[in-house]
Amino acid sequence: MKTKDITEAKDPDLRSSGAALLRAAALARKTAISTDTHLIVMKDGQLTRIPAQSLREQVAHVTKKSE
């Protein structure tokens, strides 16, 4: 079975759902950092905790890299 790219869906809400998920993920990271809580993500089929400090380091690394 061949799956279609979601960005080519007829439904405009479905087409824009990928961008909405990216915005939600960014907000979840920002919230975890500001509240000093872990972010829980699914990685390789396993639930994984990412400490706020690791998220801060990732942000610092990306910021430093883009300068």
pTM of the full structure: 0.77
As given in the structure block, the two tokens for residue 62 are 């990306």
d(CA 40, CA 54): 12
Other CB atoms within 10 A of residue 58 CB: 13
Output the 3-class SS for the chain.
CCCCCHHHCCCHHHHCHHHHHHHHHHHHHHHHHHHCCCEEEEECCEEEEECHHHHHHHHHHHHHHHC
**What are the tens digits of pLDDT across the range 32-51?**
999 999 999 999 999 999 99
Query: In the prediction, which pLDDT does 9 show?
Result: 87
